[in-house]
Amino acid sequence: MRLEPINKFLLVPSFLTYTFLILQQLYCKNSTLKIKISNLYLLNCIYLFETFIAVVFKKSILYNWKIKDYIQHHLLLSLFMITYYNYGFPLDKYFINTQKYCILINIYEITAILKNFNLSKKIFVILKFYCLYNLINLSYYEVNDSITYYKSINSYKKYLAILPFIAMWYHIFIVLPSTIKYIKTNI
């Protein structure tokens, strides 16, 4: 189902939240556990807010996203993140690189917000290349960190390693092809 674009004024909270998270990830090198958890809560809040707007009001904050996209990406991945940091082992010991690229990949969402302003395609191609770089790194670390976590945990919690692994399949089979297609079409 195609969603109507939301009022441009209502794009601001999402844009500022994603920008804050990305800048903090890029420039704050010694994040404490408290900061990492608050970043994931903030990311989940904005994901759930955007999903709520899409489902209830039939409006889209992210350019050309459909309800299916919000459910697949925002809702499902939020549930994975919430499950892990409520039941998994501390984020300051495990999935460090996955967390980093989980935040940095949200340049994809910033790109989708900026598309609502009809800016130059060159900007979007550059941003999509950066998305591609982060997407490849995220996918690699989702697998690598999951394997490391699984091997180092000696309790039933080791099975939570499947969550980032499932997310990796989503990123590889859904996000990666659309990113490459966009880049090839607009170069």
Task: Give tens-digit pLDDT for 141-184.
Answer: 999 999 998 998 888 888 888 888 888 998 999 889 989 998 99
E runs forming strands in 14-104 = 59-60
Question: How many H helices and E strands in the chain?
Answer: 9, 2
Decide: pTM greater than 0.75.
Answer: yes
Nearest residue to 47 via CA among 95, 106, 5: 106
Q: Where are the domains of the chain?
A: 4-186
pLDDT-based confidence at residue 81 (cuts at 50, 70, 90): confident
